[in-house]
């Protein structure tokens, strides 16, 4: 029994031990399965993270590519061998090229031609060496030949162990055009201000200069009246008179620049005008230039202003003379008539094609240095000149005068082959009016009587006018300024026959004097004298008033007084 009990206990212990060992094995299996499950979860999470990272990288790369392609700036990447590796959509739009177009370094020469090539290549090489390159502007030429202004900003980067130069370009062409337009507008405004200033200057010079010319011209004529017709000195006085009139024409040209000139239109004969100017033109050209005239016979007449036609001739002949830079050369002044301009002229038409009709032409040709196409495009701009000390308004005034006469200007010039200006004016079938007589004529049967008042701030003009009036048997009193003129008129109001009155005077102007004396005596005849007078001022004159342009000739003064005193219109 005892043995049985002991045997049973021993078996139970063995079973218990076996069960314990089984539990341990089971627990170990459970732990192993858990560990395997945990390892599987970790592996899946790691793989998922790797997949997520790869997907994120792909999205980032796609996003970066989208940004590069949609950027509003030019983006280029260049490797250390100067080959293009990147060329975005904006770069393709601006240049007109694609990345496939570039297989060598020639892209630098194409995009940065001429003087831009060397700085562009040096900048790239300096960047590759690690140097800092400041932002620069270059001129880029597209596939279509269009010039674009690009501002470049460069950075060196390393991609996959490869150094690259990133070039970021901003297209400044629109801004540059806007800046150019702004500068052009400022230039035109400056030109207008110059012209306005010139007008003020011309008015002042016209007043003073014409006073001097009035004294020179008038005294030359008075001296002629004192000499016998056959006196040798008389011819010298005639030359002084003629030169004074031409000087007065120069003053009119200054007023024409500023728009203050008075145009005196008449039927004129171009041949007569050129012959009268021939001697002056000959002495105006350089000694090395040979001046010749080829004037057609029976030339039709043209309606125009004589002084302005003289201005054209003088400007073009002097320009032709200055263009002859060699030891000798020739200048030809020719006239003629043509029915259709295109049958004769093939040069540059500056003012537009003329209508089909008869035209009288003046042609000034020279064998000088000629002009380039760039110069021809600018010679009619105000203040443009190729001279070291040029006037800058000559050809601008010529063009304005031709247009004002309804004419056309033709220009033909080649560098080293001379220049030809051809001016066409509509011809008129009528007898020409006399330009000017060779010698002045006064009406010896007309004389005046009574007292004349001369009011002028220039002593030489007062003296000359007094002598002329005394030649016509008037008695004369003078005043040197407006206030004194009103005072002397008040003292002699009933005795004064007429008043010669300067327009421009200090303190009190001629128009103010007119108002004062008309308040005293409304019917007194008044003859204004002035170097220039604005059109608005002329409209203020009443019916008993007339106007005499300085410098004036004695026969002009006589005719004005004869009409004014015989028909006071008051």
Write down the domain spans for the chain.
12-70, 71-171, 270-428, 451-566
The answer to whether 314 and 277 have CB atoms below 8 angstroms apart is yes
- Determine the 3-state secondary structure of 281 from DSSP: helix
Give the pLDDT confidence score for residue 232 in this predicted structure: 80
The predicted-structure confidence for 304-318, as pLDDT tens digits, reads as follows 888 788 888 888 888
Q: How confident is the model at residue 486 (pLDDT cuts 50, 70, 90)?
A: very high
Element (H, E) at 309: helix 306-323
The answer to whether 146 and 120 have CB atoms below 8 angstroms apart is no
Which single residue is written with the structure tokens 């002045």? 440
Can you read off the two tokens belonging to residue 410?
């033709």
Give the pLDDT confidence score for residue 21 in this predicted structure: 61
Can you read off the two tokens belonging to residue 58?
């792909």
More confident residue, 543 or 396: 396
Give the pLDDT confidence score for residue 568 in this predicted structure: 43
Can you read off the two tokens belonging to residue 11?
């078996």
Q: Which of 491, 495, 483, 485 is nearest to 454 (CA)?
A: 485
The predicted-structure confidence for 37-48, as pLDDT tens digits, reads as follows 666 656 666 666
The answer to whether 513 and 482 have CB atoms below 8 angstroms apart is yes
Tell me how far apart the alpha carbons of residues 487 and 1 are, in angstroms, rounded to a whole number: 179
Q: How confident is the model at residue 492 (pLDDT cuts 50, 70, 90)?
A: very high
CB atoms inside a 10 Å sphere around CB 313 = 23
Average pLDDT value over all residues in the chain? 76
CB atoms inside a 10 Å sphere around CB 502 = 27
Q: How confident is the model at residue 134 (pLDDT cuts 50, 70, 90)?
A: low
Answer yes or no: is pLDDT of 323 > 80: yes
Give the pLDDT confidence score for residue 261 in this predicted structure: 57
The answer to whether 545 and 529 have CB atoms below 8 angstroms apart is no
Give the pLDDT confidence score for residue 501 in this predicted structure: 92
Where is average pLDDT lowest: 142-151, 303-312, 344-353? Answer: 344-353
Give the pLDDT confidence score for residue 43 in this predicted structure: 63
**Which is it for the CA torsion 32, 34, 37, 41, positive or negative?**
negative
Q: Any idea which fold 71-171 has?
A: Beta-Lactamase (3.30.450)
Q: How confident is the model at residue 324 (pLDDT cuts 50, 70, 90)?
A: confident
Q: How confident is the model at residue 526 (pLDDT cuts 50, 70, 90)?
A: very high
The yes or no reply on domain 451-566 and CATH 3.30.479.30 is no
Give the pLDDT confidence score for residue 326 in this predicted structure: 75
Tell me how far apart the alpha carbons of residues 188 and 216 are, in angstroms, rounded to a whole number: 40
Contacts of 502 (CB under 8 A, 6+ apart): 455, 456, 457, 458, 461, 510, 528, 529, 530
More confident residue, 33 or 541: 33
The predicted-structure confidence for 173-183, as pLDDT tens digits, reads as follows 877 777 777 88
What average pLDDT score do residues 235-247 get?
80
Answer yes or no: is pLDDT of 380 > 90: no
Give the pLDDT confidence score for residue 52 in this predicted structure: 59
> DSSP letters of 178-209?
HHHHHHHHHHHHHHHHHHHHHHHHHHHHHHHH
Where is average pLDDT lowest: 87-96, 313-322, 429-438? Answer: 429-438
Answer yes or no: is pLDDT of 27 > 90: no
Answer yes or no: is pLDDT of 428 > 90: no
Q: How confident is the model at residue 527 (pLDDT cuts 50, 70, 90)?
A: very high
The predicted-structure confidence for 66-86, as pLDDT tens digits, reads as follows 777 777 788 888 888 778 788
Domains 71-171 and 451-566 belong to one CATH topology: no
What average pLDDT score do residues 203-218 get?
78
Give the pLDDT confidence score for residue 469 in this predicted structure: 92
Q: How confident is the model at residue 535 (pLDDT cuts 50, 70, 90)?
A: very low
More confident residue, 132 or 145: 145
The predicted-structure confidence for 387-419, as pLDDT tens digits, reads as follows 544 444 567 777 777 877 788 888 888 888 888
Peptide linkage before 489 cis (omega within 30 of 0): no
Give the pLDDT confidence score for residue 349 in this predicted structure: 55
What average pLDDT score do residues 412-435 get?
77
CATH architecture designation of domain 270-428: 2-Layer Sandwich (3.30)
What average pLDDT score do residues 226-244 get?
80
Can you read off the two tokens belonging to residue 514?
């007119």
Whole-number CA gyration radius for the chain: 48
Answer yes or no: is pLDDT of 343 > 60: no
Give the pLDDT confidence score for residue 242 in this predicted structure: 78
Where is average pLDDT lowest: 33-42, 97-106, 452-461? Answer: 33-42
Can you read off the two tokens belonging to residue 253?
């040209």
């Amino acid at each position: 029994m005892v043995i049985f009990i002991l045997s049973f206990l021993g078996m139970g212990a063995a079973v218990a031990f076996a069960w314990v060992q089984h539990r341990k094995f089971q627990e170990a299996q459970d732990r192993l399965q858990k560990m395997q499950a945990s390892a599987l979860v970790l592996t899946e999470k790691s793989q998922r993270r790797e997949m997520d990272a790869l997907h994120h990288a792909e999205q980032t790369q796609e996003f970066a590519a989208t940004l590069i392609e949609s950027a509003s700036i030019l983006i280029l990447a260049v490797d250390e061998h100067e080959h293009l590796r990147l060329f975005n959509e904006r770069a393709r739009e601006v240049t007109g090229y694609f990345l496939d177009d570039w297989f060598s370094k020639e892209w630098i020469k194409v995009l940065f031609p001429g003087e831009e090539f060397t700085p562009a290549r040096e900048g790239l090489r300096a960047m590759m060496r690690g140097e800092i390159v400041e932002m620069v502007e270059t001129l880029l030429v597209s596939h279509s030949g269009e010039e674009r202004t690009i501002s470049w900003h460069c950075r060196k980067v390393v991609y996959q162990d490869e150094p690259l130069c990133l070039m970021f370009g901003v297209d400044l062409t629109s801004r540059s055009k806007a800046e150019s337009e702004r500068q052009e507008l400022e230039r035109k405004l400056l030109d207008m201000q110059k012209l306005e200033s010139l007008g003020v200057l011309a008015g002042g010079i016209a007043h003073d200069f014409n006073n001097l010319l009035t004294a020179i011209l008038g005294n030359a004529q008075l001296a002629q009246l004192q000499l016998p017709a056959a006196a040798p000195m008389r011819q010298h006085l005639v030359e002084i008179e003629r030169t004074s009139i031409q000087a007065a024409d120069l003053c009119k040209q200054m007023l024409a620049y500023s728009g203050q000139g008075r145009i005196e239109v008449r039927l004129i004969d171009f041949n007569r005008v050129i012959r009268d100017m021939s001697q002056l033109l000959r002495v105006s050209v350089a000694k090395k230039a040979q001046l010749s005239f080829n004037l057609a016979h029976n030339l039709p007449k043209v309606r125009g202003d004589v002084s302005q036609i003289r201005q054209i001739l003088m400007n073009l002949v002097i320009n032709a003379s200055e263009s002859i830079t060699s030891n000798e050369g020739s200048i030809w002044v020719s006239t003629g008539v043509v029915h259709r301009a295109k049958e004769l002229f093939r040069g540059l038409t500056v003012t537009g094609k003329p209508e089909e009709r008869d035209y009288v032409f003046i042609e000034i040709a020279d064998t000088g240095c000629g002009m380039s196409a760039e110069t021809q495009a600018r010679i009619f701009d105000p203040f443009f000149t190729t001279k070291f000390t040029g006037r800058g308004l000559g050809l601008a005034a010529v063009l304005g005068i031709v247009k004002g006469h309804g004419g056309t200007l033709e220009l033909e010039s080649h560098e080293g082959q001379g220049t030809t200006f051809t001016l066409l004016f509509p011809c008129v079938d009528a007898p020409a009016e006399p330009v000017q007589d060779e010698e002045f004529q006064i009406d010896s049967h007309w004389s005046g009587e009574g007292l004349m008042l001369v009011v002028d701030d220039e002593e030489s003009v007062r003296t000359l006018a007094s002598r002329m009036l005394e030649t016509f048997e008037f008695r004369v009193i003078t005043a040197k300024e407006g206030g004194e003129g009103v005072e002397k008129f008040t003292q002699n109001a009933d005795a004064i026959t007429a008043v010669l009155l300067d327009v421009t005077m200090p303190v009190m102007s001629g128009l103010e004097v007119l108002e004062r004396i008309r308040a005293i005596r409304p019917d007194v005849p008044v003859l204004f004298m002035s170097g220039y007078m604005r059109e608005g001022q002329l409209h203020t004159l009443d019916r008993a008033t007339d106007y005499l342009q300085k410098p004036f000739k004695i026969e002009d003064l006589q005719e004005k007084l004869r009409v004014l005193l015989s028909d006071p219109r008051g």
